[in-house]
Amino acid sequence: MSKKCRKKSVCAVVVMVAMLCISGCGSGKIKSDKVLRVGVVTYTQDDPFINALADKLKENLKSMETEDMKITVSVKNGNDDQQDQNDIVEEMIDAGCDVLCVNLVDRTAPSRIIRLAKQNDIPIIFFNREPVWEDLMQWEDLYYVGCDAEQSGVMQGEIAADYIKNHPEVDKNQDGEIQYVLLEGEAGHQDAISRTDFSVKTLIEKEVNLEKLSYQFADWNRGQAENRMNRLISQYKDGIELVISNNDEMALGAVEAYRKAGYEQAEWPVIFGIDGLDDALEAIKAGEMQGTVYNDKEDQALQIAKLAVEIFRGEDVNRNKLKEGRYYVSEYQPVYSSNVEDFIKRQTR
Ligand code: BGC
């Protein structure tokens, strides 16, 4: 290499390093500017659980600002379309960000997002919609914050079984079997699959005799669940004794359907959800729902925020505690009429 050429390549390296420092888009290991820019992309704008989690996340990140580190947060959604979400992630990267928090539209299709992030050296914390293990292992700066869906299914089954054992009147026609319908979240979602499976298995293990009337997908959505339940109520009249729902929004859709169908509350089936959203806690208090399982959005939001800051600062206090160095698993908690007030108080604090 000629002297002139060598000088040129040294210059090019110096310029590249300087540009990296200025853009602040690296993995955070070397930082000259102290602004942490976090890009949050949810799968839709219409999911109350996800919106509540994203609000908490924003709040937590803002509260973690220090004198020497400003934090900016940009929250967007993927319009329920994986292509759109990929484009939004690309725009966020182009606009400049240090850490991405992604709630995938399709948890089996994160490849383009991972490729983009890796090319630009921007760590991703996936949340709520879990990529498969092989995808998460594609690169060392990929993380996941969520829950163990099986645990929520088991808890829901236990709460329902206890309630049914203590309230023989649930078996309205006294035939020794509980006629039930199940409202399912979304085909392919890890939570829908395991919750459906384990809530029913647990009820059976607890020796509740079940008769399945119908399983209906309602995409986690209150309105869709109400429609499905309207049809089932027309078909079975007051013959449904138990509604098991993969989440609270759909359980509240069932409540709405019974309210509008004009049945007295005493004729309603017992209804169980998952999430512990404010409306569901109120419905339990009012006796319209009998239980739910608290999906700790506050804990998940806090862990995502802590991880984002740590990654940016190049620290690993919390990262050290992650399962396989990648997974944070939040604990679910059972909610029923006797402890619902504690959860309501927690929300208003
Ligand atoms: C929640 C649902 C939510 C879904 C979105 C689940 O963990 O329980 O309420 O709609 O995640 O992915």
The H or E element that residue 55 is part of is helix 48-63
Alpha-carbon torsion, ordered 92, 95, 99, 101, to 10 deg: -20
Range of 131's domain? 26-147+297-330
Least Cα distance to 65 among 309, 347, 314 occurs for 309
Instruction: State the burial class of residue 176 (Cβ atoms within 10 Å of its Cβ: 0-12, 13-18, 19+).
Output: exposed
pLDDT average, residue stretch 129-138: 96
CA distance 123 to 141: 5
Q: Do residue 170 and residue 283 come from a single domain?
A: yes
Residues with CB under 6 A from ligand 1: 47, 49-50, 128-129, 191, 220, 247, 249, 274-275, 295
139: domain CATH number is: 3.40.50.2300
CA distance 191 to 199: 12
Instruction: Report the separation in Å between the CA atom of 20 and the middle of ligand 1, taken as the mean of its atom positions.
Output: 37
DSSP assignment letter at 140 = T
Q: Do residue 165 and residue 235 come from a single domain?
A: yes
Q: Do residue 192 and residue 204 come from a single domain?
A: yes
Residue to substitute in 53, 104, 128, 199 for testing ligand 1 pocket (most ligand atoms within 8 angstroms of CB): 128
What does each C-alpha distance from 115 to 110, 119, 262 come to in angstroms?
A: 9, 6, 53
pLDDT average, residue stretch 226-232: 98
How confident is the model at residue 31, as a pLDDT? 47
pLDDT average, residue stretch 7-16: 45
Whole-structure pTM value = 0.90
Q: How are strands ordered across the β-sheet holding 242-245?
A: 210-217, 178-184, 242-245, 270-272, 291-294, 333-336
Q: How many domains does the chain have?
A: 2
Does the pLDDT of residue 7 top 70, yes or no?
no
Q: Do residue 197 and residue 87 come from a single domain?
A: no
Does the pLDDT of residue 326 top 50, yes or no?
yes
Beta bridge partners, 74, equal 39
Instruction: Report the separation in Å between the CA atom of 5 and the middle of ligand 1, taken as the mean of its atom positions.
Output: 57
State phi, psi for 188 to the nearest 5 degrees.
90, -10
CA distance 320 to 303: 13
Instruction: State the burial class of residue 250 (Cβ atoms within 10 Å of its Cβ: 0-12, 13-18, 19+).
Output: buried
Beta bridge partners, 210, equal 178
Average pLDDT, whole number, for the chain?
A: 92
CA distance 120 to 24: 11
Percent of the chain topping pLDDT 70: 90
Q: Do residue 173 and residue 140 come from a single domain?
A: no
pLDDT average, residue stretch 139-164: 98
Residue to substitute in 47, 183, 332 for testing ligand 1 pocket (most ligand atoms within 8 angstroms of CB): 47
Q: Do residue 48 and residue 131 come from a single domain?
A: yes
Among protein residues, the one whose CA lies closest to atom 11 of ligand 1 = 128
| Number of H-type helices and E-type strands within the chain | 12, 12
pLDDT average, residue stretch 295-320: 95
Establish if 12 belongs to a structural domain. Answer: no
Instruction: Report the separation in Å between the CA atom of 153 and the middle of ligand 1, taken as the mean of its atom positions.
Output: 13
Instruction: Report the separation in Å between the CA atom of 64 and the middle of ligand 1, taken as the mean of its atom positions.
Output: 26
Establish if 315 belongs to a structural domain. Answer: yes
Q: Do residue 66 and residue 128 come from a single domain?
A: yes
Q: Strand 142-147 and strand 291-294: pairing?
A: unpaired
Q: Are 140 and 319 in contact (CB under 8 A)?
A: no
Instruction: Report the separation in Å between the CA atom of 28 and the middle of ligand 1, taken as the mean of its atom positions.
Output: 31
Percent of the chain topping pLDDT 90: 87
How confident is the model at residue 33, as a pLDDT? 58
Alpha-carbon torsion, ordered 212, 214, 218, 219, to 10 deg: 50
Establish if 9 belongs to a structural domain. Answer: no
pLDDT per residue over 230-265, tens digit each? 999 999 999 999 999 999 999 999 999 999 999 999
Least Cα distance to 94 among 36, 25, 21, 15 occurs for 25
Q: Do residue 113 and residue 173 come from a single domain?
A: no
CA distance 295 to 48: 13
How confident is the model at residue 3, as a pLDDT? 44
Q: Do residue 116 and residue 241 come from a single domain?
A: no
Establish if 1 belongs to a structural domain. Answer: no
- Kindly indicate the confidence band of residue 349, based on its pLDDT and cuts at 50, 70 and 90: low
- Atom from ligand 1 closest to the CA of residue 295: 8
Q: Do residue 289 and residue 168 come from a single domain?
A: yes
How confident is the model at residue 318, as a pLDDT? 86
pLDDT per residue over 154-211, tens digit each? 999 999 999 999 999 999 999 999 999 999 999 999 999 999 999 999 999 999 999 9
CA distance 319 to 252: 37
Instruction: Report the separation in Å between the CA atom of 348 and the middle of ligand 1, taken as the mean of its atom positions.
Output: 22
Tokens of 84: 């759109």
